[in-house]
């Protein structure tokens, strides 16, 4: 593709008259190959302009800059100057991959909490309607049965556009993305117009350091999404919804429990039946439905409402909405695993005291026969975290099962001893089973009717890190092995 074709949406000054063929758009100088356009991004700790000369030496045909180079570019290298190279990268990447959003149904979700779960719900609803869907977010880029890990909830713009083209090539017809405030701040979604944008909620988070200077900036960055969407839905029970969606020019769809909502929820209650735990509610107004949601906690009624609102913008049958909400789950986030027996087995990523407290408090609301928590703690991390995790589990669990979790370069038994310090501050019962598979086996073989067992710490991870080596370990596979080995079922 010609350089000027890539630049057609960018405001720039050409410092040379060249219009070379471009083989790729690169922002990491280590990945430069002959014929690429190298975009100099300014990061928190590094400046791409410092690597421009290296990019030229590796064969870059064009440099996209915002500052002076500090060296004379060769005559055969095009130099393009623009005010914002991050914006340029997004617009160039979009053109390089053929404007993929025009070939997909696109939904973007922003909010402090609930983005990942809402994205999973929307994707499952679309899937139940026969619309193959990819997702981009906290768990990575997911489509076609594969997961590609990313460094950020909302990846760099090039990765987003590349992923969307990959989704199209794999047969996807839709894409759902988590639009983080940082991603919006850094123009990672720039140039795109989404078919729908969803606002979940807003609360204090990501303030300070290299993120947002204050709550006003945090709110402003989230509001940017509503300048680039055709339709929009917002949780009107959240006091910030009007401020965040103020730049949306179309008709806003509101959802919530309040009478003001166009899509209203009512009669919510927790569900617990033969290993299935979740939440049930009814809707009125825009849609009259009675969904069961397979993710525990009342707050997930809001996430489900957001998903219903998103689906309402498209030709999605009510049956697909109900089926999708019943089976949707987020990998590693109170993720249910089917097991023989009348008890619930969940996998969750909670790996510190606060996240454990949130999960266990939510599960306590279901009044289980026993709440059993299996967990360990990471090695080479502050000991106080272990004390706190032990204390939380001892206080909220009927039984704690202490085991390994990424012990790294520490001895597992030393980590367990630290966890016991916290447990001893409570009167909670506990057992120690150092090997994680055997700890899971212990929980399953000793499960009673009505128990809820939650395996904390690993979540979506599929490895165990010991002495600098990551060994494959997926708890779902361990559970299947135990069922087979013990001839359960």
> What is the pLDDT averaged over residues 26-35?
97
Query: Which of the listed CATH numbers 3.40.1390.10, 3.40.50.10420, 3.10.28.10, 1.10.3720.10 matches domain 3-96?
Result: 3.40.1390.10
> What is the pLDDT averaged over residues 24-31?
97
Domains 3-96 and 335-485 share a fold: no
Task: Give the angle 40-192-240 at the CA atoms, nearest 5°.
Answer: 105
Q: Which residues pair with 110 in a beta bridge?
A: 199
pLDDT tens digits for range 318-330: 999 999 999 999 9
What's the pLDDT at 260? Answer: 95
Q: Which two tokens stand for residue 29?
A: 């100088």
The domain 335-485 having CATH identifier 3.90.190.20: the answer here is yes
Q: Which two tokens stand for residue 377?
A: 């703690």
What's the pLDDT at 43? Answer: 83
pLDDT tens digits for range 210-245: 567 688 999 999 999 999 999 999 999 999 999 999
Entry pTM: 0.93
Q: Taking Cα atoms as reference points, which of 266, 419, 442 lies closest to residue 352? A: 419
Residue-range domain boundaries for the chain: 3-96, 100-327, 335-485
Residue 207 has pLDDT above 80, yes or no: no
Mean pLDDT of all residues in the chain? 95
What's the Cα-to-Cα distance from 15 to each of 20, 75, 78, 374, rounded to whole Å?
14, 11, 7, 61
How far is CA 413 from its chain centroid? Answer: 33
The whole-angstrom separation of Cα 103 and Cα 192 is 12
pLDDT tens digits for range 110-156: 998 999 999 999 999 999 999 999 999 999 999 999 999 998 999 99
Q: Taking Cα atoms as reference points, which of 471, 470, 466 lies closest to residue 410? A: 466
How far is CA 242 from its chain centroid? Answer: 25
Q: What is the dihedral of CA 95, 101, 102, 104, to 10 degrees?
A: 150
Residue 247 has pLDDT above 80, yes or no: yes
Q: Which CATH architecture has domain 100-327?
A: 3-Layer(aba) Sandwich (3.40)
What's the pLDDT at 210? Answer: 59
The whole-angstrom separation of Cα 302 and Cα 257 is 8
Q: Taking phi first (over 0 means left), then psi (-120 to 50 degrees means alpha), and beta for anything else, what does residue 274 get? A: left
Interacting residues of 217 by C-beta distance below 8 A, sequence separation 6+ = 185
């Amino acid at each position: 593709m010609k350089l000027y074709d890539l630049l057609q949406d960018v405001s720039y000054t050409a410092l040379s008259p060249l219009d070379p063929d471009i083989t790729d758009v690169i922002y990491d100088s280590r990945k430069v190959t002959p014929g690429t356009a190298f975009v100099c991004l300014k990061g928190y700790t590094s400046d791409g302009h410092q690597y421009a000369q290296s990019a030229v030496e590796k064969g870059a045909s064009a440099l996209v800059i915002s500052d002076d180079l500090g060296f004379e570019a060769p005559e055969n290298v095009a130099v393009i100057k623009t005010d914002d190279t991050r914006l340029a990268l997004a617009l160039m990447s979009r053109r390089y991959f053929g404007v993929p959003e025009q070939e997909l149904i696109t939904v973007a979700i922003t909010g402090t909490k609930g983005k990942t779960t809402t994205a999973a719900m929307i994707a499952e609803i679309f899937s139940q309607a026969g619309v193959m869907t990819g997702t981009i977010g906290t768990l990575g880029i997911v489509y076609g049965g594969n997961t590609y890990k990313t460094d950020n909830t909302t990846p760099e713009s090039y990765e987003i556009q590349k992923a969307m083209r990959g989704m199209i090539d794999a047969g996807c017809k839709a894409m759902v993305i988590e639009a983080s405030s940082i991603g919006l701040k850094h123009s990672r979604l720039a140039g795109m117009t989404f078919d729908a944008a969803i606002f979940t909620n807003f609360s204090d988070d990501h303030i300070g350091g290299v993120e947002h200077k204050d709550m006003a900036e945090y709110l402003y960055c989230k509001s940017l999404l509503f300048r680039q969407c055709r339709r929009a839905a917002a949780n009107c029970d959240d006091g910030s919804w009007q401020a965040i969606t103020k730049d949306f020019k179309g008709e806003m769809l509101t959802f919530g429990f309040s009478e003001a909502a166009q899509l209203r929820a009512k009669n919510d209650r927790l569900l617990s039946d033969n290993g299935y735990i979740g939440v049930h509610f009814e809707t009125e107004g825009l849609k009259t439905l009675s969904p069961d949601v397979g993710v525990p906690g009342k707050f997930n009624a809001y996430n489900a409402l957001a998903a219903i609102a998103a689906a309402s913008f498209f030709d999605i049958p009510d049956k697909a909405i109900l089926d999708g909400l019943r089976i949707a789950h987020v990998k590693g986030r109170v993720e249910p695993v089917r097991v023989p027996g009348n008890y619930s087995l969940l996998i969750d990523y909670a790996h510190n005291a606060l996240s454990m407290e949130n999960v266990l408090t939510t599960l306590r609301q279901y009044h289980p026969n026993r709440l059993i928590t299996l967990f360990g703690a990471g090695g080479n991390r502050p000991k106080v975290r272990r004390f706190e995790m032990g204390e939380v589990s001892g206080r909220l669990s009927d039984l704690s099962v202490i085991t390994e979790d990424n012990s790294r370069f520490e001895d597992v038994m030393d980590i367990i001893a630290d966890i016991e310090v916290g447990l001893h501050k409570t009167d909670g019962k506990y057992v120690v089973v150092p090997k994680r598979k055997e700890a899971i086996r212990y929980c399953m073989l000793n499960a009673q009717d009505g128990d809820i067992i939650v395996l904390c710490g690993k979540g979506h991870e599929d490895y165990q890190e010991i002495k600098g080596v990551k060994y494959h370990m997926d708890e779902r596979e361990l559970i299947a092995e135990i069922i087979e080995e013990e001839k359960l079922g």
